[in-house]
Amino acid sequence: MTSRCGFVVLAGRPNVGKSTLLNHLLGRKLAITSRKPQTTRHNLLGIDTRGAVQVIYQDTPGIHQVGGAGGRRGGTAINRYMAGQASHAVRDADVVVLLIEARTFTEADAAALRQVERGAAARICAINKIDRLEDRRALLPLIDDVQGRGDFAAIVPISALRRDGLDALTDEIAARLPPGPHLFAADDVTDRPVEFFLGEIVREKIMRRLGDEVPHRVAVEVERFVTGPALAEVDAVVFVERSSQKGIVIGRRGQRLKAIGADARRDIEHLLGRQTMLRLWVKVKAGWSNNAASLKALGYH
Residue 181 lies in a domain: no
What 3-state DSSP class applies to 270?
helix
Q: Are residues 165 and 280 in the same domain?
A: no
Pair 14, 152 in one domain: yes
Shared domain for 147 and 255, answered yes or no, is no
Q: Assess whether 96 and 209 both reside in one domain.
A: no
CA distance 241 to 250: 14
Residue 156 included in any domain: yes
Is 202's pLDDT higher than 70? yes
Residues 202 and 54 in one domain: no
Q: What is the CATH number of the domain that holds 135?
A: 3.40.50.300
Mean pLDDT of the chain: 91
**Residue 184 belongs to a domain:** no
Closest alpha carbon to 80 in 106, 98, 61, 96:
61
Averaged over 25-43, what is the pLDDT? Answer: 85
Residues 31 and 135 in one domain: yes
DSSP state string for 86-145: HHHHHHT-SEEEEEEESS---HHHHHHHHHHTTS-SEEEEEEE-GGG-S-GGGHHHHHHH
Number of independent structural domains in the chain: 2
What percentage of the chain exceeds 90 in pLDDT?
72
**Tens-digit pLDDT profile for residues 212-241:** 777 678 999 999 999 998 999 999 999 999
Q: Are residues 85 and 214 in the same domain?
A: no
Please check whether residue 179 lies inside any domain of the structure: no
Mean pLDDT on 57-69: 69
Same domain, 74 and 126: yes
Residue with the bigger pLDDT between 87 and 258: it is: 258
The candidate with the shortest Cα–Cα distance to 60, out of 96, 85, 37, 78, is 85
Residue where a domain terminates, one of 174, 208, 227: 174
- Give Cα 36 distance to the centre of its chain: 12
Percent of the chain with pLDDT over 70: 96
pLDDT tens, position by position, 66-122: 544 344 444 788 888 887 887 788 888 999 999 999 989 999 999 999 999 988 789
Q: Looking at the structure, do residues 168 and 222 belong to the same domain, yes or no? A: no
The band of 153, judged by pLDDT with boundaries at 50, 70 and 90, is: very high
* Residue 231 β-bridge partners: 275
Nearest Cα to Cα of residue 63 among 102, 103, 99: 99
Q: Is residue 183 part of a domain?
A: no
pLDDT tens for 130-146 read 999 999 898 999 999 99
**What integer pLDDT is reported at residue 64 of this predicted model?**
55
| 227 shares its domain with 260 | yes
Domain that holds residue 233: 194-297
